[in-house]
Structure 1
Amino acid sequence: MTGNRPDESYEEDVLRILAAAVRAIGSIISSNTEIVLHDLRRPEYSIAEIVNAHVTGRRQGDSILSGMRTDKAFISAMEESREAVTLLTDYETFSRSGAPLRSSTAIYRGRNARPFAALCINVDDENIRKALSVLQNLTAAMPSQREEAIPQEESGVSPDNIEDLMRDIISSATALSPGAGRADGKRAKLLAVQQMQEKGIFLMKGGVEKAAAALGVTRYTIYNYLDELKNAE
């Protein structure tokens, strides 16, 4: 027991520093951004500090197990690593109600390589998406002269033509990556996902699900493809 005290003291100090950082940053960020500090040594009531808790509906003392679904940060925290800090930035998670969130996480490990703290940022962009939708509807209602002034390929993607656009993208990607092998098929799908991302399809409600259906994969595969493309950049 005595030999563990230096590690425990170090971890307690780091947690106090991070808790102060959460409160300081939380005092100025917008209300759609949650910052939460987890004490991973106590997973059954891990939330040590939290601001803007309404984003995920959690509170101080809640368990990390009651958090977001499909959270890669929690999975990563359970993996072995010798890194003192592991960073996961700008990835998608879902709240318990299914609302999509943008998340970033820093996982801290002690001298024994055991994860003991996680600092997480979760952003709910739903109101921003609604505002963009309103603006798009207003733009669509403008006089036809304005519509004629905008080239068709720059006028954006609407829910009415998203399936047609995805079919064109998949056809183009398949032509650029011919072949019947498994690697050829994955290359074509990656290229298709990249083009869909560039067209803004994934910014639309249901875009990921529609893309997954068109490509014959799960939506989690689409997220993995997006991660792969991001890492390649």
Structure 2
Amino acid sequence: MEDLERLTKYIPIVHFIGEILGKNCEVVLHDVTKPDNSIVEIVNGHISGRKVNGPITDLALKIMKDKNYKDKHFICNYESVGKSKKPFRSSSYFIKDEHNEIIGMICVNVDLSDLISARSVIEDAIMLANFTITANNKPNHTEQQKSALDLNVLESFEDNIEDLLLSLIKGVLSESEIAPERMSPKEKIDVVRKLNEKGVFLLKGGVSEVAKHLEASEATIYRYLNKIK
């Protein structure tokens, strides 16, 4: 059975979850074997601005690259952010084949902006500094939450592959105080290594886009990739 045929069986579940959780919840079915246009179905896509055939996310790329899905079925309640910078609470379920390889994901993204605004109103109304209702105010993450946090990625949603690549490349370049045109080959290799860890080169056009930003040829980027493997 083809992977896409298997995944289409999950489309009714996507709509089922969307109906239960309502208009402030986006539900997405991804075909991770096609990261450039992975979205098979989406409910309440207005929340992130994405549509069918949109690209995969940066977090999903890292999960695929690091194979974090091997020993778990899902990750729950991690932080993500929409293109409009709205805060989301997200969860992802991994769809695997008979060889325990990931072929798809069902992702649920709850828009928290209204709830956070309501919390602010309530806190203003309470008007007591350091008011607590429990003895311990520290967040208590579940094991699934910890596994998501360990990925060290704040998931962001882009509605096209160009924006996703740009976001990932600029994110890595921003970590360096050296402009690409002044980087040594060793420093550029380090940039390529970080981008590879984020799954950038799983995306169509990844090599050419990185080459452009590093002011190098595509052949040079392929050579750097061979060095870090």
TM-score band, normalised by the shorter chain? Answer: 0.5 to 0.7
Instruction: Report if aligned partners of 2:63, 2:69 keep a CA contact under 8 Å in 1.
Output: no
Selected match of 2:131 from 136, 154, 161: 154
Superposition deviation, residue 85 in structure 1:
6.1
Q: What is the letter of the counterpart of residue 102 of structure 1? A: R
Q: Secondary structure of the equivalent of 1:20?
A: helix
**How well do the aligned residues superpose, as a CA RMSD in angstroms?**
3.3
Q: Secondary structure of the equivalent of 2:20?
A: coil
Distance 1:89 1:120, change over 3 A: same
Superposition deviation, residue 227 in structure 1:
4.3
Q: Deviations over 1:52-103 (max 9, x none)?
A: 1111110111111xx4x5x3x4311223378496311111122233332111
- Aligned pairs for 1:138-149 (under 5 A) are 138-140=125-127
What is residue 119 of structure 1 aligned with on the other side? 106
Selected match of 1:86 from 73, 89, 101: 73
Instruction: Report if aligned partners of 1:108, 1:118 keep a CA contact under 8 Å in 2.
Output: yes
Q: Which region of structure 1 is more displaced relative to structure 2, 81-90 or 37-46?
A: 81-90
Instruction: Report if aligned partners of 2:76, 2:148 keep a CA contact under 8 Å in 1.
Output: no
Structure 1, unaligned runs of 5 or more:
1-5, 141-146, 157-194, 201-222, 229-233
Q: Higher helix share goes to which structure?
A: 1
- Aligned pairs for 1:52-91 (under 5 A) are 52-64=44-56, 67=57, 71=59, 73-80=60-67, 83=70, 86-91=73-78
Superposition deviation, residue 28 in structure 1:
3.0
Distance 1:20 1:85, change over 3 A: farther
Structure number with bigger Rg: 1
Q: Does 1:46 align with 2:38?
A: yes
C-alpha separation between the residues in 2 aligned to 1:81 and 1:95?
A: 23
C-alpha separation between the residues in 1 aligned to 2:146 and 2:79?
A: 11
C-alpha separation between the residues in 2 aligned to 1:155 and 1:107?
A: 37
Distance 1:17 1:25, change over 3 A: same
What is residue 197 of structure 1 aligned with on the other side? 138
Structure 2, unaligned runs of 5 or more:
151-229
C-alpha separation between the residues in 1 aligned to 2:84 and 2:69?
A: 35
C-alpha separation between the residues in 2 aligned to 1:98 and 1:51?
A: 19
Selected match of 1:128 from 105, 115, 126: 115
Instruction: Report if aligned partners of 1:34, 1:121 keep a CA contact under 8 Å in 2.
Output: yes
What is residue 180 of structure 2 aligned with on the other side? none
Superposition deviation, residue 43 in structure 1:
1.4
Aligned residues: 144
C-alpha separation between the residues in 1 aligned to 2:4 and 2:115?
A: 38
Instruction: Report if aligned partners of 1:85, 1:106 keep a CA contact under 8 Å in 2.
Output: no
What is residue 193 of structure 2 aligned with on the other side? none
Q: What is the letter of the counterpart of residue 10 of structure 2? A: L
Q: TM-score, normalised by structure 2?
A: 0.53
Instruction: Report if aligned partners of 1:84, 1:113 keep a CA contact under 8 Å in 2.
Output: no
C-alpha separation between the residues in 2 aligned to 1:44 and 1:107?
A: 18
Distance 1:85 1:196, change over 3 A: closer
What is residue 36 of structure 1 aligned with on the other side? 28
Q: TM-score, normalised by structure 1?
A: 0.52
Q: Secondary structure of the equivalent of 2:79?
A: strand
